[in-house]
Amino acid sequence: MDVESANREACKRILDARPVWKDVKIAGEVIPGMAKNRIFHTGPPIEWDRMCLPQKASITAAMMFEGLCNGMQEAEQLVKRGEVELDINQNHQSIGPMSGPISYSMAVCEVENVAFGNKVYSAPFNTGRKSPLYFGVFTEEALNIQKWIAEVWAPATSQALKLLGGIDCRALVGQSVLMGDEQHNRNQAATALFMNEIVKGYIQLDLPKDVFIEILDYMSENSEMFWATPHLAVSKSMMDPAHGIENSTVVTKMSSNGTEFGIMVSGLKDQWFTAPSPNVEGLYFAGYSKKDGHPDLGGSRIKETAGFGGMCIASSPAMCLLIGGKAKDTIRHTLNMYEITVTENPAYQIPYLDFRGIPTGIDIVKVVETGITPIITTGINHKRENFGHIGVGVTISPLECFEKALQAL
Angstrom CA distances, 281 to 4, 10, 242, 244, 323, stand at 35, 32, 31, 34, 8
Work out the number of other CB atoms within 10 angstroms of the CB of residue 185. 27
| 157 pLDDT tier (thresholds 50, 70, 90) | very high
Give the type of residue at 329.
D
Please state the domain extents for the chain: 16-232, 243-408
Sequence-ordered list of residues with C-beta below 8 angstroms from that of 399, at least 6 positions apart, any chain: 275, 367, 368, 371, 373
Q: pLDDT of 8-36, one tens digit each?
A: 999 999 999 999 999 999 999 999 999 99
Phi-psi sector, 238: left (phi>0), alpha (psi -120 to 50), beta: alpha
- Of 269, 257, 281, 238, nearest to 409 by C-alpha is 269
Please determine, for residue 322, whether its predicted confidence score (pLDDT) is greater than 80.
no
Give the type of residue at 104.
Y
Q: Percent of the chain scored above 90 by pLDDT?
A: 90
State mean pLDDT over 75-81: 97
E strands, 33-84, where?
38-41
| 317 pLDDT tier (thresholds 50, 70, 90) | confident
| 319 pLDDT tier (thresholds 50, 70, 90) | confident
Task: Round the average pLDDT of the chain to a whole number and report it.
Answer: 95
What span, in angstroms and rounded, lies between the C-alpha atoms of 140 and 42?
23
| 338 pLDDT tier (thresholds 50, 70, 90) | very high
Sequence-ordered list of residues with C-beta below 8 angstroms from that of 328, at least 6 positions apart, any chain: none
Please determine, for residue 323, whether its predicted confidence score (pLDDT) is greater than 90.
no
Please determine, for residue 273, whether its predicted confidence score (pLDDT) is greater than 80.
yes
Domain 16-232 has CATH 3.90.1710.10: yes
Answer CATH for 243-408 from 3.40.50.2300, 3.90.1700.10, 3.50.50.60, 3.40.190.10: 3.90.1700.10
Q: Please tell me the number of Cα atoms within 13 Å of 201 on its side-chain side.
A: 23
- Of 147, 145, 117, nearest to 132 by C-alpha is 145
* Three-class DSSP category at 384: coil
